[in-house]
Amino acid sequence: MKTEVSAFFQNHSLPEPYVSAQEAALFLSISPKTLTRLARQGLIPAHPLGDGIRRRWRFLRSELDTWMHGRVNSTNHLRSHREGTQ
């Protein structure tokens, strides 16, 4: 039985779990408040739960990682960094 279960998990990948705003903020090294603001503005990949004003947000680490790599490699990021240092 144990071998069958191991074989199942080797052949089937489980979906990536969503993480909370607190976990996502820790992953990105920013405050949860900043992360929530970025999510509300649509500037960061996020998945809202609920239809009201006080939505809860969930995040996928893989999407956050891709988003962050895109910011690091973008010319907009470099331009804004240069402007801030001059």
What is the pTM (predicted TM-score) of this model? 0.67
pLDDT, tens digit (0-9, with 9 covering 90-100), for 61-73: 999 999 998 887 6
pLDDT, tens digit (0-9, with 9 covering 90-100), for 44-55: 999 999 887 778
CA dist 73 and 56 (Å) reads 30
Domain count for the chain, please give it.
1
65 in any annotated domain: yes
User: The domain that contains 55 carries what CATH number?
Assistant: 1.10.1660
**How does DSSP assign 35-83, residue by residue?**
HHHHHHTT-S--EEESSSSS-EEEB-HHHHHHHHHHHHH-HHHHHHHHH
CB atoms within 10 A of CB 49: 9
- Looking at residue 14, what is its pLDDT? 83
3 in any annotated domain: no
CA dist 43 and 64 (Å) reads 11
